[in-house]
Chains A and B, each alone.
Chain A
Amino acid sequence: MINLEVKIPDTPGSLIELIRPISKYGGNIYGILHFHDRKLKNMIPVNISFELSEEIQEVSLQNIKKELKEKNIQIENISYGIEKKLITIILTGHVFDTDVMDTIKRLASKNINVLELQAKFTKLEEVSNVKLRIEFPEEMDKKELTNELRKICEEKKLFLITS
């Protein structure tokens, strides 16, 4: 994720001028923040975050910067936001009986966040199957993640399937 901090004139159409080169060079825009309260000399600070696929990132970013410069849009700062990685896993066993909230909290304490949980039950006393969509930090590799998951699964006798 790329985050651009720019200043644009408070005139109609100037936002379009900002967005156009980003879209043109393959940017997938996630969000735009206007700071009207920090307007100075008719210029408004704007933060725009977007994603560029890895292969085109370098070239596209150069083109975007060049075009913004030509349009007299000043770039104050560029930052590369922390990206989260996603994974889907399945837990089979007594997932709820072994305190699913504890499982989720323990993962959260390691910066591993459960975004979605879906379960299928048979009979109450039988095993359940639970699908979790999990977000984990960019700097954590998949092995570290599975080690964390495995620790909990071994303790709670849950069967883990990862992608």
Chain B
Amino acid sequence: MMNVKICLIGKGIVGSSLLQLLNEKKQLFKQKFNLKITVNSIFESDGALIKDKGIDLKEILDVSDDFRNLPYWRRDVKAIDLISELDIDICIETTPTNPKTGEPGLSHIIEALNNHIDVISSNKGPFYLEYKKIKNLAEQNNCFVKYEATVASCVPSLSIKEDLIGNEILSIKAILNGTSNFILSRMTAEGVDFPLALKEAQELGYAESDPTLDIDGYDAAGKLVILANELLGWSKNIKDVKVEGISKITPHAIELVKPDGFVIKPLAIAENNELSVEPRLIDKNSPLNISGNLNVVELETKYAGPIILMGRGAGGFEAASAIINDLIDITRKKGYSP
């Protein structure tokens, strides 16, 4: 049985959900994939849990937020300083991102790859800013770098590439930001104006207290860059995306196009070598007309027309399950797992 040693950076919603799934799936890993997953380090912004022989995940889950009282908690140590020293096979990056710099995730990923450690990330910033650099570095160092959770969470929008290997993806239309989609759905269904729909989204926990990145289209733009680079083989970054948010949309605009069978949706589009995120009029019978806070990805393919993926684009367990998929994929490609 192969023992795979993991370092987790960021024990927030996604990181904690991942620890729970890793604990739950212990038997499955063993029986089906011939794997023992050992988490030997968990970094937070103010320190880390480090245990060379492996952290007891059940213990971590039991103590919940009190993990800093555990004897192997080391205050003030930083992931960036210890990645090279620890014995790690795969580094899992789940910190929040600075949208301008991609930090701290970008440095973590680069440091891991420089030390020949495979990387899995749910953190998209580093990829929409420095996609090429990361991919090149991974290739140079013979490492895997996977990031399924960065786009539409558990919806397999990136890994589908392998399943369409005999086809060719020509263009992409998608809804990649659940918050904007929720807001426009409410405005369409109830005729409420933008500020009210936003407030509703915040109260339901679908929007952050600072929702700027969601409603101005920047979040979707980042995901679109990753999607297009991965599926269409482009090398763009977020500065290449023409971005228009949804805050100027009024209930009147929505009402005006209703009789023509149109709805307004926050679309992310990759076609003709261009990327854009903007509200568009779409046919109300289009498969892209999904409501609520769902995500949808429509791939226009050469030999099979449109192929559509839809599902929940956010959530701790959703993202964590995508990370597990990436993990299994890496171990299979390395020949550890059947």
Contacts and interface: CB of A to CB of B under 8 A. Distances in A.
A75 interface: no
B280 A90 contact: no
Interface stretch (A6-14, A17-25, A65-73, A155-163): A155-163
Interface residue SS majority, chain A: strand
Going nearest first, the 4 A-B pairs with the smallest beta carbon separation are: A163-B281, A120-B252, A129-B252, A131-B256
Contacts of B250: 92, 127, 129
B279 A161 contact: yes
B257 interface: yes
Interface string A126-146: 011111000000000001000
Contact of B255 (A89, A120, A127, A159): A120
Interface string B258-282: 0010101000000010000011111
Given A88-B281, A161-B264, A161-B278, 14 more contacts: A88-B257, A88-B260, A90-B253, A118-B256, A120-B256, A122-B252, A129-B256, A130-B256, A131-B260, A143-B272, A161-B249, A161-B281, A162-B281, A163-B282
B333 interface: no
Q: Could you say which of B249, B257, B264, B278 has the most chain A C-beta atoms within 10 Å of its C-beta?
A: B257
Given A161-B279, A163-B280, A88 B262 contact: yes
Interface residues of A, number: 17
Interface of B: 248-250, 252-253, 255-257, 260, 262, 264, 272, 278-282
A89 B257 CA distance: 9
Contacts, number: 44
A122 B282 CA distance: 25
Contacts of A128: 252
Interface of A: 88-90, 92, 118, 120, 122, 127-131, 143, 159, 161-163
